[in-house]
Amino acid sequence: MDRTRATRQKTLKSAVRCAGVGLHSGQATTMTLHPAAIDAGITFRRADAGVEIGANWRNLVSSCLCSTLAENGVSVGTVEHLMAAFAGLEIDNALVEIDGAEVPAMDGSAAPFVALIERAGVAEQHAPRRAIEVLKPVHVASEGAEASLEPAAVFSVNFVIDFASGAVGRQRLAVSPDPMNFRHGIARARTFGFLEEVQQMHAAGLALGGSLDNAVVIGEDGVINKEGLRYRDEFVRHKVLDAMGDLYLAGGPIIGRFAGHRSGHALNRRLLQRLFADSKAWRFTTLEAETATAWSEAPHRATA
């Protein structure tokens, strides 16, 4: 495989704005995506608090329902869908200005953020992309869930979910996404939950912004959203989306193979901590262009 041409860093051509309600807080927020300089990375600026928070694993704080970043006592939550859009469209540098503590849920997927980025336009910058290359396997596990990274020539995700609900069941997806396939194969997959759990969370003051407009809800008889599913395996595709967003908090694209089995935000966070705790497990490298990008999908519903 020819890997002789370095790919260039990318940012936005112009600022673009959106507004919406936080999935967990229920609070209305306005968010503006701005261009950023070479090597700036992704940064969140809490306009209401005057604090900037780097979008990297060091700033991740404990959270099981979403990925939350915090610095100097100020946080911004549910960053994973926006980070997945940045990862999927290969945006290296951007400033995210937000006037509240949670990224708007929009429709529960990364598609609205992809549309925002495309509306702003993508600008190539005169510097090579820096990536994190996995040099040896790292693995974490907890309560029947597992996540791992191992060396590979390109970034790929292999994810398995396994739910007792017949509407979800066991699904597996293996992908090596490029921007085009991310747009069409992953970005539109929405977050999901079970009606009983949603009702319990609402009673506990959680998921206050969740609705059928920004989540797939599963009842006793299956999906209750009138429009049904966007993909027949939308559930595992959303877990791949979440993983892509979480892993982009490494501080750049990863060159390596990620495998997740029932993994969530907390375990993905532990995996990044485990990777960077071992200086022999990774290194910075220049991301090279490739003459061909692999894209493969495992069967929509695994049989074993």
How would you classify residue 227: left for phi > 0, otherwise alpha for psi between -120 and 50, otherwise beta?
alpha
Boundaries of every domain in the chain:
8-286
Among residues 24, 34, 238, 265, the one annotated as catalytic is 265
Instruction: Split the chain (304 residues) into runs of 10 and give each run's mean pLDDT.
Output: 66 98 94 98 97 97 88 96 98 98 97 98 97 98 97 97 94 96 97 89 81 94 96 98 98 97 96 98 88 40 34
Instruction: Produce one character per residue of 223-258: b if its CB has 16 or more CB atoms within 10 Å, e if not.
Output: bebeeebbbebbbbbbbbbbbbbbbbbbbbbbbbbb
DSSP sequence for 85-147: HHHHTT---EEEEESSSB-B-TTSSSHHHHHHHHHH-EEEEEEEPEEEEE-S-EEEEETTEEE
pLDDT at 1: 30
The whole-angstrom separation of Cα 299 and Cα 236 is 11
Catalytic residue check, 34: no
Q: What is the dihedral of CA 131, 133, 137, 143, to 10 degrees?
A: 0
Give 82-96 pLDDT, tens digit per residue. Answer: 999 999 999 999 999
pLDDT at 290: 58
Write the CA distances from 229 to 71, 105, 242, 263, integer angstroms: 37, 18, 18, 22
Asked if residue 117 lies in contact with residue 13, where contact means CB atoms within 8 angstroms, the answer is no
The whole-angstrom separation of Cα 159 and Cα 262 is 8
Write the CA distances from 192 to 82, 96, 214, 284, integer angstroms: 17, 25, 9, 35
The whole-angstrom separation of Cα 81 and Cα 104 is 10
Asked if residue 277 lies in contact with residue 209, where contact means CB atoms within 8 angstroms, the answer is no
8-286 CATH fold:
lpxc deacetylase, domain 1 (3.30.1700)
Give 55-78 pLDDT, tens digit per residue. Answer: 999 999 977 689 999 999 999 999
